[in-house]
Amino acid sequence: MADLWSEADVGEVIEPGAVILSFEAASAITKGKAVYLSADMKVSQCTAITQIPIGIATKTVAVGEFCPVCVRGVIKITAGGAINRGEQVTNDASANLVTLPEATVVGDVNDLIARALGMALQTFANGDTGLIYVDKA
């Protein structure tokens, strides 16, 4: 699919009024990747599908630097698989975004709600870049 927002780089917020929070980086983090709270007020880049993402890094940082994280707003990401517009998204083990799986038992519902990072604003093929709406704030 064509990049619908080619003037922005991956990890760039394209909406005024987005909510960006700053956290200390507990690991090296790449701009445009999903991050999770790995300690109090510290984030790490997601490395497992079981981690609960809190947003998308808007800057590449080293350990100990402060990392701005988009927790609400429209941001450009890379898809880790096929995603249909309107679907809820979460992280994969590479911190890219994938479709949130469906719950198979009632106990899974709360976990999936926590893992939902936002909604795809367009249809993606694996490796495509494009826009999602992050809604964790």
Domain that holds residue 52: 19-135
Residue 5 lies in a domain: no
Task: Report whether 1 contacts 125 (CB < 8 A).
Answer: yes
Residue 72 lies in a domain: yes
Q: How far is CA 50 from CA 6, 7, 11, 89, in A?
A: 31, 33, 22, 13
Q: How many domains does the chain contain in total?
A: 1
pLDDT tens track for 89-132 = 999 999 999 999 876 555 677 777 888 999 999 999 999 999 99
Tokens of 61: 């940082």
Does this model's pTM top 0.95? My answer is no
Residue 3 lies in a domain: no
pLDDT tens track for 41-96 = 999 999 999 899 999 999 999 999 999 999 999 999 999 999 999 999 999 999 99
Residue 118 lies in a domain: yes
Residue 56 lies in a domain: yes
Residue partners of 103: CB distance under 8 A and separation at least 6: 109, 111, 112
Tell me what the mean pLDDT of segment 20-39 comes to.
Answer: 98
Residue 45 lies in a domain: yes
- Could you tell me the CATH number of the domain that includes residue 130? 2.40.300
